[in-house]
Amino acid sequence: MDTEQTPPDEKAMVELLSKAGYSERAINYYLEKLNVGIIEDAEAVESYKGLCGDSMRIYLKIAEGVVRDAKFQAIGCAGAFASGSALTEMVKGKSLEEAQGITGEDVVEHLGKMPGPKLHCARLAVDALRKSIEKYRKEHEEQ
Ligand code: FES
Protein backbone atom coordinates (compact mmCIF):
# COMPACT_ATOMS: atom_id res chain seq x y z
CA MET A 1 0.00 0.00 0.00
CA ASP A 2 1.25 3.46 -0.87
CA THR A 3 1.24 5.47 2.31
CA GLU A 4 3.43 8.29 1.01
CA GLN A 5 1.68 11.62 0.70
CA THR A 6 1.96 13.21 -2.69
CA PRO A 7 2.48 16.97 -2.68
CA PRO A 8 -0.40 19.00 -4.09
CA ASP A 9 -0.04 19.25 -7.85
CA GLU A 10 0.24 22.53 -9.65
CA LYS A 11 -3.46 22.73 -10.45
CA ALA A 12 -4.40 22.29 -6.80
CA MET A 13 -1.80 24.89 -5.84
CA VAL A 14 -3.20 27.37 -8.35
CA GLU A 15 -6.72 26.81 -7.02
CA LEU A 16 -5.53 27.25 -3.47
CA LEU A 17 -3.70 30.50 -4.19
CA SER A 18 -6.54 31.81 -6.32
CA LYS A 19 -9.04 31.13 -3.54
CA ALA A 20 -6.73 32.86 -1.08
CA GLY A 21 -6.91 36.01 -3.22
CA TYR A 22 -3.81 35.97 -5.42
CA SER A 23 -4.15 37.25 -8.99
CA GLU A 24 -3.25 35.04 -11.94
CA ARG A 25 -0.09 37.09 -12.52
CA ALA A 26 0.98 36.71 -8.87
CA ILE A 27 0.42 32.96 -9.06
CA ASN A 28 2.40 32.69 -12.30
CA TYR A 29 5.30 34.68 -10.88
CA TYR A 30 5.31 32.47 -7.81
CA LEU A 31 5.20 29.22 -9.77
CA GLU A 32 7.76 30.35 -12.36
CA LYS A 33 10.07 31.69 -9.64
CA LEU A 34 10.66 34.64 -11.96
CA ASN A 35 13.99 36.37 -11.24
CA VAL A 36 14.74 34.08 -8.31
CA GLY A 37 18.49 33.57 -8.16
CA ILE A 38 21.84 35.19 -7.69
CA ILE A 39 23.78 37.74 -9.73
CA GLU A 40 27.39 36.79 -9.09
CA ASP A 41 28.88 40.15 -10.14
CA ALA A 42 26.10 42.34 -8.76
CA GLU A 43 27.02 45.92 -7.87
CA ALA A 44 24.48 45.92 -5.03
CA VAL A 45 23.47 43.12 -2.69
CA GLU A 46 21.66 43.43 0.61
CA SER A 47 19.22 41.46 2.72
CA TYR A 48 16.30 42.59 4.79
CA LYS A 49 14.31 40.74 7.41
CA GLY A 50 10.69 41.75 7.86
CA LEU A 51 8.65 41.82 11.03
CA CYS A 52 7.02 38.50 10.04
CA GLY A 53 10.46 36.88 10.29
CA ASP A 54 10.82 36.27 6.54
CA SER A 55 13.68 37.73 4.62
CA MET A 56 14.73 38.72 1.13
CA ARG A 57 18.06 39.44 -0.53
CA ILE A 58 18.13 41.61 -3.64
CA TYR A 59 20.92 41.60 -6.24
CA LEU A 60 21.25 44.51 -8.65
CA LYS A 61 23.37 45.14 -11.71
CA ILE A 62 23.80 48.89 -11.90
CA ALA A 63 25.44 50.98 -14.63
CA GLU A 64 25.37 54.77 -14.94
CA GLY A 65 22.82 55.05 -12.17
CA VAL A 66 20.37 52.69 -13.89
CA VAL A 67 19.31 49.20 -12.78
CA ARG A 68 20.20 46.84 -15.63
CA ASP A 69 19.26 43.55 -14.00
CA ALA A 70 17.76 42.34 -10.73
CA LYS A 71 17.34 39.01 -8.99
CA PHE A 72 16.36 37.94 -5.50
CA GLN A 73 16.38 35.13 -2.99
CA ALA A 74 13.79 34.82 -0.27
CA ILE A 75 12.77 32.83 2.73
CA GLY A 76 9.09 33.51 2.78
CA CYS A 77 5.58 32.89 1.62
CA ALA A 78 4.02 32.88 -1.85
CA GLY A 79 3.36 36.60 -1.39
CA ALA A 80 7.03 37.27 -0.78
CA PHE A 81 8.05 35.40 -3.92
CA ALA A 82 5.37 36.99 -6.10
CA SER A 83 6.38 40.42 -4.77
CA GLY A 84 10.08 39.77 -5.29
CA SER A 85 9.40 38.73 -8.88
CA ALA A 86 7.20 41.75 -9.51
CA LEU A 87 9.64 44.21 -8.00
CA THR A 88 12.69 42.83 -9.81
CA GLU A 89 10.74 43.11 -13.07
CA MET A 90 9.56 46.65 -12.30
CA VAL A 91 12.99 47.91 -11.36
CA LYS A 92 14.83 46.99 -14.57
CA GLY A 93 15.66 50.06 -16.62
CA LYS A 94 14.82 52.44 -13.77
CA SER A 95 17.18 54.99 -12.27
CA LEU A 96 18.15 54.43 -8.63
CA GLU A 97 15.88 57.33 -7.61
CA GLU A 98 12.94 55.84 -9.48
CA ALA A 99 13.64 52.41 -8.03
CA GLN A 100 13.75 53.81 -4.49
CA GLY A 101 10.41 55.50 -5.07
CA ILE A 102 8.56 52.22 -5.78
CA THR A 103 6.13 51.43 -2.98
CA GLY A 104 4.46 48.27 -1.72
CA GLU A 105 1.22 49.57 -3.24
CA ASP A 106 2.95 49.83 -6.66
CA VAL A 107 4.04 46.20 -6.35
CA VAL A 108 0.51 45.08 -5.49
CA GLU A 109 -0.84 47.14 -8.38
CA HIS A 110 1.62 45.45 -10.75
CA LEU A 111 0.54 42.04 -9.47
CA GLY A 112 -3.14 42.88 -9.78
CA LYS A 113 -4.28 41.41 -6.49
CA MET A 114 -2.86 40.00 -3.27
CA PRO A 115 -4.69 38.74 -0.22
CA GLY A 116 -5.16 41.60 2.27
CA PRO A 117 -3.02 40.06 5.03
CA LYS A 118 -0.21 39.60 2.51
CA LEU A 119 0.31 43.24 1.65
CA HIS A 120 3.23 43.42 4.05
CA CYS A 121 5.03 40.86 1.87
CA ALA A 122 5.17 43.47 -0.91
CA ARG A 123 6.65 45.87 1.63
CA LEU A 124 9.30 43.29 2.54
CA ALA A 125 10.43 43.27 -1.10
CA VAL A 126 10.43 47.07 -1.29
CA ASP A 127 12.40 47.39 1.94
CA ALA A 128 14.96 44.84 0.71
CA LEU A 129 15.37 46.81 -2.52
CA ARG A 130 15.83 50.07 -0.65
CA LYS A 131 18.43 48.50 1.64
CA SER A 132 20.30 47.21 -1.37
CA ILE A 133 20.31 50.61 -3.06
CA GLU A 134 21.25 52.40 0.18
CA LYS A 135 24.21 50.10 0.60
CA TYR A 136 25.29 50.68 -2.98
CA ARG A 137 25.07 54.43 -2.52
CA LYS A 138 27.08 54.33 0.68
CA GLU A 139 29.81 52.37 -1.04
CA HIS A 140 29.84 54.27 -4.33
CA GLU A 141 28.59 57.78 -3.83
CA GLU A 142 29.93 58.87 -0.47
CA GLN A 143 33.64 58.30 -1.05
FE1 FES B 1 6.36 37.03 5.64
FE2 FES B 1 4.78 36.94 3.49
S3 FES B 1 4.35 36.28 5.50
S4 FES B 1 6.76 37.74 3.64
On average, the pLDDT of the chain sits at 93
Residues 6+ apart with CB under 8 A from 6: none
In a domain, 3, yes or no: no
Q: 141 or 40, which is more confident? A: 40
pTM of the model: 0.92
Residue 81 sits in a domain of what CATH number?
Answer: 3.90.1010.10
Q: Where are the beta strands (DSSP E) in 13-85?
A: 44-49, 55-63, 66-75
68 by DSSP, 3-state: which?
A: strand
Closest CA to 96 of 58, 68, 57: 68
Q: How far apart are alpha carbons 9 and 100 in whole angstroms?
A: 37
The full 3-state SS of 102-132, as one line of letters, equals CCHHHHHHHHCCCCHHHHHHHHHHHHHHHHH
Residue 9 pLDDT greater than 70, yes or no: yes
Q: What is the pLDDT of residues 119-138, one digit of tens each?
A: 999 999 999 999 999 999 99
What does the angle CA 36 – CA 139 – CA 90 come to, to the nearest 5 degrees? 35
Is 2 domain-assigned? Answer: no
Ligand 1 within 6 A of 84 CB?
A: no
> How many Å lie between the centroid of ligand 1 and the Cα of residue 52?
6
Structural domain containing residue 70 = 8-141
pLDDT band at 141 (very low <50, low <70, confident <90, very high): confident
Is the pLDDT assigned to residue 142 strictly greater than 90? no
Of all protein residues, the one whose alpha carbon is nearest to atom 4 of ligand 1 is 121
Total domain count, the chain? 1
Give the Cα separation of 23 and 4 in Å (integer). Answer: 32
136 lies in some domain: yes
Rounded to the nearest whole angstrom, what is the distance from the C-alpha of residue 142 to the centroid of ligand 1? 33
- The single-letter code of the amino acid at 119 is L
- Answer whether residue 87 is part of any domain: yes
Give the model confidence (pLDDT) of 40-63 as tens digits. 999 999 999 999 999 999 999 999
Residue 59 lies in a domain: yes
With pLDDT > 70 as the criterion, what percentage of the chain qualifies? Answer: 93
For residue 1, is it within any domain?
A: no
